[in-house]
Structure 1
Amino acid sequence: MGNILAIAGSGMRAAQQGVQVAAHNVANLATPDAQRLQLQRSSTADGGVATRVAVADADPAAPLADLVAARTEVLAFTANATLIRRADDMLGALLDDKA
């Protein structure tokens, strides 16, 4: 059960960082020298996700892509939060059954 919580927690942290990267990109659209960022993900040995922020190439479709990415990250965060709630419910039911 602990591994599920750690994996979902790392997914929530990655989603939060993804929203921050997208917000940075949208907020700096009018800034001439601002660098466009992107979030790179990789899997970890324990099943979680690791992230790294990198500079991205200029992209004319970037504002739309950043808005879509922000919404996708919110959905990923919500999915991981739901997984944590369900794991907590299952553990509570198991403990209630054993009591």
Structure 2
Amino acid sequence: MGFAAQDIVPISEARARLTELSEEVVAGAEKILTKNGAAHVAIVDVRKLDYYHALEQEHAALVLLNEAELGLREYMAGQRIPRADILKVLD
């Protein structure tokens, strides 16, 4: 998603326009607030934020499942050492 010039707002300006900016965000816009000319924070609708968090959790679960599958495939192919054997070496 790209941002239009009106979506990039200095923090100093945002202080005075917070109500207006929040209404634009609820209507679907996302705002980038800048500090000293550089992107600093974003204002997004809370529903989108919840969605973003759900996507992060789903991604983390998929990464764990992929790692588990890889480990199982390697174990079944004899490429992994059983836990009991590792513990014997460590004792």
* TM-score relative to the length of structure 1: 0.39
Larger radius of gyration: 2
The alignment's TM-score, normalised by the length of structure 2, stands at 0.42
